[in-house]
Amino acid sequence: MKISIKAFIGSVLLLSGIALISSCDKIEEPFTKKTGSLDTAACPVPEFPAVTAVQKRVLLEDYTGHTCVNCPKAAKLAHDLKEVHGDKLVLLAVHAGYFANPTPGGDFTYDFRTEAGTAWDVFFGVGMVGNPNGMVNRRGHPNNHIITPTAWGANVTDALSTQPLLDLQMINDYDAAERKLCTHIKTRFITTLDRNLRLVVVLAENGIVKPQKNNDPGSGDTPVIEEYVHNHVLRSAITSTWGSSIAVAGTPNPESLVKSFKYILKEEYVPENCSVIAFVYDDDTKEVLQAIEVDVI
């Protein structure tokens, strides 16, 4: 049987394309700028340990800014809640809105704003209400989702009292030489969910020392805490702002699925102080169903 050169080359290219697609189906954007392409060999998917008990975890988003004089007191309140609930509570400080804007000259030229944080702030309207405010699992959207700090505790307790519908596991692998992070998130469906679900993965950092305006003597110097320690700071979205689809309404859920992401840490980030936060939310109600946080190192 004779095969033309063109047909042979076409077959090879087709098979190569199929192989490439099938070998890279677990690596999600953003891809490394160094390679500019998918590279599963650089982020091999690990074996996840068996889970014996599923823990419900709640996401508390603290919308804040460095010129917000009431925000240090709110951050302290969030810290106290973390002391009580431990790993069951995931904190994320989102610097967005008016009070997060850099001020030319002086102490407040630094910028903790992010594309994702700004988009969330605009969509949920937190900045329009003012800081400090936050959301607990983004529950109550679109009318009752913005919560004042004094109500965070009760809302966290209430959210933790609900049964988990799915489980999240995370394994991080960090290459210090390349500053390359491979993060792997496994979602396991505990019950059948006929919903549109999305997975968001972000990078957060603790221990960033920068000035912060303050009017609460119990939180530090007034009117400015010159060496304020910013914790749980949203640094960047590793997925897109609104995440990656993991379930579609009307389609059967898999028992579990793993998504892997590759990310290069900026030089200004301290890997030892960074963590990866992942959460799954209902794309129609915006409610977060499960969250998890694991240190980069």
Rounded Cα–Cα distance for residues 261 and 263 (Å) = 7
- The reported pLDDT for the residue numbered 40 is 52
Rounded Cα–Cα distance for residues 233 and 238 (Å) = 14
Rounded Cα–Cα distance for residues 125 and 147 (Å) = 12
| The two structure tokens encoding residue 128 | 């329009």
- Using one digit for the tens of pLDDT, what is the confidence trace for 110-122? 999 999 999 999 9
Between the CA of residue 126 and those of 92, 147, 209, 213, what are the distances in Å?
A: 14, 9, 25, 19
Burial class of residue 130 (count of CB atoms within 10 Å of its CB; 0-12, 13-18, 19+)? middle
Mean pLDDT, all residues of the chain: 88
Rounded Cα–Cα distance for residues 276 and 293 (Å) = 6
Rounded Cα–Cα distance for residues 98 and 34 (Å) = 35
106 versus 267: the higher-pLDDT residue is 267
- Report strand pairing: 27-28 vs 256-264: parallel
Mean pLDDT of 79-97: 98
- Report strand pairing: 208-213 vs 224-230: antiparallel
The residue among 270, 259, 238 whose CA lies nearest residue 171 is: 259
- The reported pLDDT for the residue numbered 52 is 86
Give the pLDDT band (50/70/90) at residue 86. Answer: very high
Give the pLDDT band (50/70/90) at residue 209. Answer: very high
Would you say residue 123 has pLDDT above 70? yes
Mean pLDDT of 20-30: 36
Give the pLDDT band (50/70/90) at residue 42. Answer: confident
Rounded Cα–Cα distance for residues 51 and 167 (Å) = 9
* Residue-by-residue DSSP string for 223-246: SEEEEEEE-SEEEEESS-TT-EEE
Q: Are 43 and 76 in contact (CB under 8 A)?
A: no
Which residue spans within 76-230 are E strands per DSSP? 89-95, 133-136, 166-175, 180-189, 197-205, 208-213, 224-230
Please, what's the b/e burial string for 74-90 (b: 16 or more CB within 10 A of its CB; e: otherwise)?
bbebbeebbeebeeebb
Return the biggest CA–CA distance within the chain.
88
119: three-class secondary structure by DSSP: helix
Count CB-CB contacts under 10 A for residue 5.
7
- Using one digit for the tens of pLDDT, what is the confidence trace for 142-185? 999 999 999 999 999 999 999 999 999 999 999 999 999 999 99
- The reported pLDDT for the residue numbered 33 is 28
